């Protein structure tokens, strides 16, 4: 069984973060290991607070896992501050072979709470992006990355980011309007791939980004190509939204539901 490591924050309502990553990896037949970077206080109504885990503890957790388990792919989610980012860089760059890494650059929760400090963003772009296989920003995160890198506004921001950081970007179109949603993969060699799906109307959409990124990591661990892994992960997220549509978990933005989807 392939081991997938999630490096992410804890969501006690279990719809996003490390809890949702573990459910997704398990549902897709992987073995999930977890390194927790932050403890959020949140429920379906929103995030109330974030307590970063001390960077030395993030580092020792990473060392414990990476020196023992044969990790085939990594998903990275919430990185609360520069010190935690530095701990991740130190441990990952010490590896003889860096497995495929999927980075979901979570910046601000749907409820508007900051999940990553402002100064972390520049550090992550410069130091973690180069270690990654793919970065999966949504539209607001793409705009932040564009501003951060000082790029002029252009319609081809995805390709510009891919070339600037020499890593693939999947720009997620879910925050756009319309009955169809389009995600576009930009690869630094100039290739693109487009993934279109029907918008499913639901009030339970918490954790979609976490589900998608950990599904991509799991399929990469299982030897799918990047284009295939994204395509399969898109099917997973569509099914998870449909399965979560009628769930009644909490009073607010409820979770998607990743069942055994293999």
Interacting residue ranges for ligand PXL, rule: CB under 6 A? 8-9, 11, 16-17, 40, 42, 47, 77-78, 106, 109, 115, 207, 209-210
Q: Cβ of residue 154: shortest distance to ligand PXL, in angstroms?
A: 27
- Residue nearer to ligand PXL on the CB measure, 36 or 95: 36
Residue nearer to ligand PXL on the CB measure, 17 or 244: 17
> Least CB distance from residue 170 to ligand PXL, whole Å?
15
Complex with ligand PXL: residue 187 or 215, whichever CB lies closer: 215
Nearest distance in Å: CB 207, ligand PXL: 6
Residue 2 CB, nearest approach to ligand PXL (Å): 23
Alpha carbon distance 98, 46 (integer Å):
35
Q: Smallest gap, in angstroms, from Cβ of residue 200 to ligand PXL?
A: 18
- Nearest CB to ligand PXL, comparing residues 38 and 221: 38
Q: What's the closest the beta carbon of residue 40 comes to ligand PXL, in angstroms?
A: 5
**For residues 51 and 40, what is the distance between their CA atoms, to the nearest angstrom?**
6
Q: Quick one: 214 or 222, whose CB is closer to ligand PXL? A: 214
DSSP for the chain reads: --EEEEEEEE-TTSSSHHHHHHHHHHHTT-EEEEEEEEEEEEETTEEEEEEEPPHHHHHHHHHHHHTTS-EEEEEE----SHHHHHHHHHHHHT-SSPPPEEE----B-TTS-BSS-HHHHHHHHHHTGGG-SEE---HHHHHHHHHHTTPPP-TTHHHHHHHHHTSEEEE--TTS-SSEEEEEEE-TTS-EEEEEEE----S--BTHHHHHHHHHHHHHHTT--HHHHHHHHHHHHHHHHHHHTT---SSSSPBP------
**By the 8 A CB rule, do 254 and 244 touch?**
yes
Q: Which is nearer to ligand PXL, 34 or 109 (CB)?
A: 109
Nearer to ligand PXL, 112 or 190 (CB): 112
Minimum distance between the CB of residue 210 and ligand PXL, rounded to whole angstroms? 5
């Amino acid at each position: 069984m392939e081991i997938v490591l999630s490096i992410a924050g804890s969501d006690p309502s279990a719809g996003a973060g490390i809890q949702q990553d573990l459910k997704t990896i398990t549902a897709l037949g992987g073995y999930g290991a977890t390194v927790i970077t932050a403890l959020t206080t949140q429920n379906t109504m929103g995030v109330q607070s974030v307590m970063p885990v001390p960077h030395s503890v993030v580092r020792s957790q990473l060392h414990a896992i990476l020196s023992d388990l044969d990790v085939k792919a990594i998903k990275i989610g919430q990185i609360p501050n520069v010190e935690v980012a530095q701990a991740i860089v130190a441990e990952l760059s010490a590896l003889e072979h860096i497995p495929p890494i999927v980075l979901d650059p979570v910046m601000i929760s749907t409820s508007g709470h900051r999940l990553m400090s402002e100064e972390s963003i520049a550090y992550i772009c410069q130091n973690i992006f180069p270690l990654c296989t793919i970065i999966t920003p949504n539209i607001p995160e793409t705009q932040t990355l564009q501003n951060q890198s000082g790029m002029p506004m252009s319609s081809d921001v995805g390709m510009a980011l891919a070339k600037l950081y020499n890593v693939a970007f999947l720009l997620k179109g879910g925050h756009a309007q319309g009955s169809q949603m389009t995600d576009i993969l930009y690869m630094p060699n100039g290739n693109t791939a487009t993934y279109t799906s029907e918008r499913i109307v639901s009030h339970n959409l918490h954790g979609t980004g976490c589900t998608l990124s950990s599904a991509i990591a799991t399929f990469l661990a299982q030897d799918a190509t990047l284009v295939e892994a994204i395509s399969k992960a898109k099917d997973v997220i569509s099914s998870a939204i449909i399965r979560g549509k009628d769930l009644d978990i909490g009073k607010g933005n409820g979770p998607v539901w990743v069942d055994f989807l293999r």
